């Protein structure tokens, strides 16, 4: 027997900063095995669990993927229960949603021909999305099935709040700026290396401000953020490095955008990396309708939202092309904060909601767009 709160508390108690998820993945694989999953750690390091009920001919005709991420950002928060909340790094982002996935799928009555895959993906917080990129082409398969295929639906494990689902996320691009010059006297006319980096940053901000003039909301805007500026001098040469992250709305061509940002840097070196375009799924899909129905049945007024961050939805959404949303317990405003905590009641509530969603999705599976079985 796997007790829900114990599962989450123990998972949160295992540090799993991006790139160091192995112990937590091993723990989760063992707990999934206790719950009846066929579970394993794949080549990317993801914790993967499979539940399936083949039909009378041994076929799988309806498949869903529930993908959370098992890694966290750095920062130790004492794991404790206080005032009805579980505190700890990852409770909200995103071990709470992942644990809810594991428990809900295990309690779902599978109709003949159904497969559910639960994955705890690695390196989502590291901007590499290593786990999601691997799963795009390596879903668990029976003999004769292709690993590279699209499921019938996907739920991404991110905090949305108990009464909401997330339809989309902005894209992201990281820029590293580097400039070096011969050392000069501070009283001279030469602009300091640090000042040149600041000038470039101000140009990036002005570029975004111009782009955003006619944008209706934050989701449609360019949102640059200066992560750091560092200077160095060896007595002969002054140098400066800076890192900027830009959250990118739908419709922006990344190649053109990169060229514009490079041009603003004049002669300095600028490198763009970890770029991913924005992704927004449709509002009127069978998966959204099922979630909305379940939330209404449970007394909520469903909310459909988009977020200004980036998630593994940006990776798998455009490649699988299936109905997709993000859902999970927790307040996303607590992501990455020293006060990260999850209300225990809402965690249990999310498990119940997910069970109902998975069972109702099976009931209306004919409404889902056929992808690879038919």
Looking at the structure, tell me whether residues 219 and 134 fall in a common domain. no
pLDDT recorded at residue 234: 86
Residue 127: the pLDDT is 83
Structural domain ending residue among the three candidates 276, 295, 315 = 276
Is residue 189 domain-resident? yes
Q: CATH number, domain at 184? A: 3.30.70.360
Range of the domain at 331: 4-169+278-367
Res. 21 pLDDT band, cuts 50 70 90:
very high
Q: Give every CB contact of residue 124 below 8 A, 6+ residues apart in sequence.
A: 18, 69, 71, 94, 131, 132, 311, 312
Q: Kindly state the percentage of the chain with pLDDT values over 70.
A: 97
Beta bridge partners, 13, equal none
Whether 9 and 84 share a structural domain: yes
Distance from C-alpha of 32 to C-alpha of 38, rounded to nearest angstrom: 8
- Asked if pLDDT for residue 122 goes beyond 90, the answer is yes
CATH number for position 128: 3.40.630.10
Catalytic residue among 21, 63, 71, 158: 71
Q: Which of 224, 258, 276 is the last residue of a domain?
A: 276
- Please confirm, yes or no, whether 124 is among the known catalytic residues: yes
pLDDT score, position 373:
37
In a domain, 374, yes or no: no
Quick one: 119 and 232 in the same domain? no
- Answer yes or no: do 161 and 249 share one domain: no
Q: Is residue 373 part of a domain?
A: no
Looking at every residue in the chain, the average pLDDT score rounds to 94
- Give the pLDDT score at 182: 84
pLDDT at 371 over 60: no
Name, in order, each residue with C-beta under 8 angstroms of 315's C-beta and a sequence gap of 6 or more: 129, 132, 133, 136, 276
pLDDT of residue 189: 62
CB 350 within 8 A of CB 165: no
Q: Are residues 139 and 31 in the same domain?
A: yes
DSSP letters, 201-261, are HHHHHHHHHHHHTT-SSGGGS-EEEEEEEEEEE-SSEEEEEEEEEEEE-TT--HHHHHHHH
Cα–Cα distance between 335 and 168 in angstroms, integer? 17
Of the residues 21, 123, 124, 359, only one is catalytic, namely: 124
Q: What is the pLDDT of residue 68?
A: 98
User: Residue 284 has what pLDDT?
Assistant: 93
pLDDT reading at 186 higher than 80: no
Q: What is the rounded end-to-end Cα distance, in angstroms, of the chain?
A: 38
pTM: 0.93
Angle between helices 22-34 and 4-13 (to 10 degrees): 160
pLDDT digits (tens, 9 = 90+) for 343-369: 999 999 999 999 999 999 999 999 996
Rounded percentage of the chain residues whose pLDDT exceeds 90: 91
What sign has the CA pseudo-torsion 210, 211, 212, 213? positive
- 359: Cα within 13 Å, side-chain hemisphere: 12
What sign does the CA torsion over 260, 201, 175, 241 have? positive
Q: Are residues 46 and 64 in the same domain?
A: yes
- 182 catalytically annotated: no
Residue range 141-162: average pLDDT? 90
């Amino acid at each position: 027997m796997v007790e829900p709160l114990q599962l989450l508390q123990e998972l949160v108690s295992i540090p799993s900063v991006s790139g160091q998820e192995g112990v937590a993945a091993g723990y989760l694989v063992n707990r999934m095995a206790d719950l009846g999953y066929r579970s394993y750690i794949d080549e990317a390091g993801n914790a993967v669990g499979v539940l399936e009920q083949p039909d009378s001919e041994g076929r799988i005709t309806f498949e869903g993927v529930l993908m959370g991420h098992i890694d966290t950002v750095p920062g130790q928060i004492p794991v404790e229960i206080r005032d009805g909340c579980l505190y700890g790094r990852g409770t909200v982002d995103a071990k709470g949603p992942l644990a809810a996935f594991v428990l809900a799928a295990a309690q779902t009555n599978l109709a003949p021909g159904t497969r559910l895959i639960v994955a705890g993906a690695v390196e989502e917080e590291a901007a590499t999305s290593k786990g999601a990129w691997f799963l795009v082409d390596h879903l668990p398969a029976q003999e004769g099935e292709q690993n590279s295929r699209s499921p019938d639906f996907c739920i991404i494990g991110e905090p949305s709040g108990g009464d909401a689902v997330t339809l989309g996320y902005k894209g992201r691009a990281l820029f590293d700026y580097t400039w070096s010059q011969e050392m000069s006297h501070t009283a001279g006319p030469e602009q300091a290396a640090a000042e040149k980096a600041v000038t470039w940053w101000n140009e990036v901000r002005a570029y975004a401000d111009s782009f955003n003039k006619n944008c209706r909301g934050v989701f449609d805007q360019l949102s640059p953020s200066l992560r750091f500026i560092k200077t160095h001098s060896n007595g002969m040469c002054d140098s400066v490095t800076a890192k900027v992250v830009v959250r990118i709305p739908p419709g922006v061509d990344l190649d053109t955008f990169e060229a514009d940002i490079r041009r603003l840097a004049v002669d300095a070196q600028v490198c763009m990396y970890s770029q991913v375009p924005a992704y927004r799924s449709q509002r009127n899909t069978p998966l959204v309708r099922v979630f909305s129905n379940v939330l209404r049945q449970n007394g909520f007024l469903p909310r459909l939202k988009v977020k200004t961050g980036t998630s593994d939805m940006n990776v798998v959404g455009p490649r699988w092309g299936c109905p997709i949303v993000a859902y999970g317990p927790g307040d996303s405003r607590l992501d990455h904060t020293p006060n990260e905590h999850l209300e225990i009641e809402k965690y249990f509530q999310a498990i119940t909601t997910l069970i109902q969603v998975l069972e109702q999705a099976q009931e209306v599976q004919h409404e889902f767009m056929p992808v690879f079985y038919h």
